[in-house]
Chain A
């Protein structure tokens, strides 16, 4: 069936197996799908979860930057570096 699909699309010579392998690797990275443990997840669902996950990660980086900025501003500017180093050692 996969050979029929690739002969139909014609333009894309990309091997279906390669895509399947990459998609399964993506699946392992995504926290939700990994927990569900089903082999029947479709490629489009994986892509959708990937987009949502990347968006969430971006938002988290943004929130963490905000939080760190507030934390650092409450520490004296000169000792900010010292505080960072101290917290790293702990």
Chain B
């Protein structure tokens, strides 16, 4: 399913707004500076099209707000919504420190569990081995996916992660389509 044209239009509008703000605030940018401005405007525009309804869009906005200069751009593009969306807690589920600590303890004990698992793998039938290897692969790839999707590290369950990924991919496709047609047109 190609990205809906309404998404593309929304993205284009916000992106142009961001670009205009960037170029008006800083004349004579170097190519690298301009590229960063283009990319930043594009990402913020993409995130604002979702208006805080998804985790990844929230993460982009929060990350951009960390930098003082970028924050101004965020405020302008998002307008009235910017105050609400820049607050970290509104959509992102907070990872409490307890969870992180318990995960570290878990990881330390994993070494011994893995040794035990290896023993059981050596002695179990090949079908069980295949399933456990598949599970490990899925877990490894899920971790990778979490790193690729912005805000992925805050997503705890698999289903939300996949839903976020779906929405993120559609948005990225819209972004690429619009940018490509602009690049080809000029």
Interface residues of A (CB under 8 A from B): 5, 12, 14, 18-19, 22-23, 25-26, 28-29, 42-44, 47-48, 50-51, 53-55, 57-58, 60-62, 64-73, 77, 80-81, 83-84, 87-88, 90
Provide the bound-state CA to CA distance between A67 and B31, in Å: 10
B121 within 8 A of A: no
Are A66 and B20 interface neighbours, CB within 8 A? no
A22-B166, A55-B148, A73-B31 known; A68+B38 contact, CB < 8 A:
yes
A14-B157, A51-B141 known; A64+B176 contact, CB < 8 A:
yes
Shortest 10 CB-CB contacts between residues of A and residues of B:
A69-B35, A47-B141, A87-B185, A69-B34, A64-B179, A22-B162, A65-B39, A44-B137, A57-B172, A65-B38
Provide the bound-state CA to CA distance between A82 and B163, in Å: 39
Q: Which residues of A contact B117 (CB under 8 A)?
A: none
Q: Which residues of A contact B32 (CB under 8 A)?
A: 69
Provide the bound-state CA to CA distance between A62 and B179, in Å: 10
Number of B residues near A (Cβ < 8 Å) is: 47
Are B179 and A68 interface neighbours, CB within 8 A? yes
B145: which of A25, A51, A87 is its contact (CB, 8 Å)? A51
Q: A51-B148, A57-B169 are in contact. List 7 more A-B contacts (CB 8 A).
A: A43-B138, A47-B138, A51-B144, A55-B148, A57-B172, A68-B35, A83-B186
B110 within 8 A of A: no
Are A72 and B145 interface neighbours, CB within 8 A? no
Are A84 and B182 interface neighbours, CB within 8 A? yes
Are A28 and B172 interface neighbours, CB within 8 A? no
Are B20 and A67 interface neighbours, CB within 8 A? no
Provide the bound-state CA to CA distance between A44 and B145, in Å: 11
A22-B163, A29-B170, A77-B27 known; A64+B148 contact, CB < 8 A:
no
